[in-house]
A and B are shown apart, each in its own frame.
Chain A
Amino acid sequence: MDSYTLVDMRVHDINVVTDLDQHDPNSATPPPTQDPPAGGEPEPVVYDGTKGTPKLGSTFMVEDFFESNSQDVQAYWTGWWPVLHIRFSFYPIPEINLILHFTIDILGSFSIDPETVLNILNPVLMTYGVKNAQNVDNVYQMVMRDIVDYLFGMGGVAWRVAWAAALTLKLTSLVMDTGPWGAALFAANTLIYVGALIAGAAQVVQDALDGILHPLVAAFILILNALAIAVDGLNKLYSSAKGDTELNRLQEAGNLLTETEIENKHRGVCFRYAAGLVLMITACGLVTAGVGLLVWFLAQGIDITYDTVAT
Chain B
Amino acid sequence: MLEVFILFCLGLLLLLPPQVFLISGESQLMSFYRYGIPIEDENAIRLKRIVERKGGLLLLALILYLPYLGLPLFALIVFSDAVNLYLFPALLFAGFLIYAQNTGTILAFLIKLKQAKSTSQEPA
Contact = CB atoms under 8 A, between A and B. Distances in A.
Interface of A: 112, 114-118, 120-121, 124-125, 139-141, 143-145, 147-148, 151, 163, 166-167, 170-171, 173-174, 216, 220, 223-224, 227-228, 231, 234-235, 238-239, 242-243, 245-246, 249-250, 253-256
Interface residues of B, number: 42
**Lowest 3 A-B CB distances belong to which pairs?**
A170-B104, A144-B86, A246-B27
A246 B20 contact: no
Contacts of A256: 35, 37, 123-124
Interface string B15-43: 11001100110011001000101000000
Contacts of B79: 117-118
A130 to B, nearest CB: 11
A120 B2 contact: yes
Given A167-B104, A235-B19, A250-B31, A227 B12 contact: yes
Given A114-B81, A117-B80, A174 B28 contact: no
B33 to A, nearest CB: 13
Nearest to A148: B89
Given A121-B3, A163-B97, A254-B124, A246 B9 contact: no
Interface string B97-124: 1001100110110011000000000011
A170 B106 CA distance: 10
15 contacts: A121-B1, A144-B87, A145-B86, A171-B104, A216-B1, A227-B12, A231-B16, A235-B19, A238-B23, A245-B27, A246-B27, A249-B31, A249-B37, A253-B31, A253-B123
